[in-house]
Amino acid sequence: MQQRVRKAIFPVGGLGVRFLPATKAMPKEMLPVVDKPLIQYVVEEARAAGIEQFIFVSSHGKSVLEDHFDFSPELHETLVRRGKTRELELLDELYLEAGQIAAVRQPEPLGLGHAVWCARHLVGDEPVAVLLPDDLVRARTPCLKQMVEVYNEVGGNIVAVMDVPREHTDRYGVLKCGREKDRLVEVQALVEKPKPAAAPSTLSIIGRYILQPQVFELLENQEPGAGNEVQLTDALAGMIGHGPFHGYRFEGTRYDCGDKAGFVAATIAFGLDHEKIGTAVRQILLDQVQQLESGDPAR
Ligand code: G1P
């Protein structure tokens, strides 16, 4: 019987440089895909996986992220007074229970590994999930829920993985693969952002992890790696051979919302799914394609 995964870390300290100027005064995690900010998608995914404690590793100017999940008496009263039942329901779904959300600070952007380490005192001695809000996964069963189900069977460390084009391996943590069974792949080695020619495979980590607390001990002394940052992948490599460690080929589609084109793709996919505007979005897309095909002179 595995110890239950109750806590999740959300590294949200990044500067959002790739999304300037949109992110100059607003955290990138607040960029909306259709009608919800990125952070809400990942928090909802974690909730669906049974997570009870939500730890934001944030930085200067990011307190709006906590506010987003907080009860706002003023807004609540106004909506009640105006009889806005639907809007009240939307907000009810959003609120976390008292004490469920906590934030720690990462004073300097020293890398993902350092961000995770900043949450060590709140996690303590139990397994923890890590979710990167840049990665949205559209799936029938939310990605982290799939992973928790697998974790309950096999334990140890689990990272969500997918094959990427070889020319993109230098954007990811990449696996050297051992035995494979169903969606699980034994991890034999991990390399952060290898050049395509040096990558041990194309099977790459996307932003969902279930980790054992030993990761904090390893992160404590982790030297900076790729990009001169303290890399989570490097600390994870130190856990290989000390218990089960698997890559999990999740079911679903991942959208890289840290990238402008990926963000637009997510907006289209989630727009098509949307119960209110899905049909309209479909028509817009069809019209756009038709315009492209007929050689719209404005493009
Ligand atoms: C981080 C991790 C990398 C992982 C990626 C997934 O990289 O360091 O191992 O593959 O997230 O999105 P980043 O995107 O922060 O450069």
Q: What is the pLDDT of residues 157-199, one digit of tens each?
A: 999 999 999 999 999 999 999 999 999 999 999 999 999 999 9
Q: In this structure, is residue 286 part of a structural domain?
A: yes
Shared domain check, 209 and 142: yes
Q: In this structure, is residue 2 part of a structural domain?
A: no
Shared domain check, 40 and 175: yes
Question: What is the Å distance from ligand 1's center to 55 Cα?
Answer: 19
Question: What is the Å distance from ligand 1's center to 170 Cα?
Answer: 10
Which stretch of DSSP H or E encloses residue 277?
A: none
From CA 115, how far away is CA 108, in angstroms rounded? 9
Q: In this structure, is residue 281 part of a structural domain?
A: yes
Average pLDDT (61-89) is 94
Q: How many helices (H) and strands (E) does the chain have?
A: 11, 13
Q: Measuring from atom 16 of ligand 1, which residue has the nearest CA?
A: 171
- The atom of ligand 1 lying closest to the CA of 231 is 8
Please give the tally of structural domains in the chain: 2
Question: What is the Å distance from ligand 1's center to 238 Cα?
Answer: 17
- Number of Cβ within 10 Å of residue 231's Cβ equals 25
pTM: 0.96
Average pLDDT (17-28) is 92
Shared domain check, 284 and 237: no
pLDDT in tens, 200-218: 999 999 999 999 999 999 9
Averaged pLDDT score across all residues of the chain:
95
Q: Measuring from atom 1 of ligand 1, which residue has the nearest CA?
A: 172
Shared domain check, 231 and 268: no
Shared domain check, 20 and 106: yes
DSSP label at 252?
S
Q: What is the residue range of 149's domain?
A: 7-258
- The atom of ligand 1 lying closest to the CA of 14 is 15
Asked if pLDDT for residue 298 goes beyond 80, the answer is no
Q: In this structure, is residue 1 part of a structural domain?
A: no
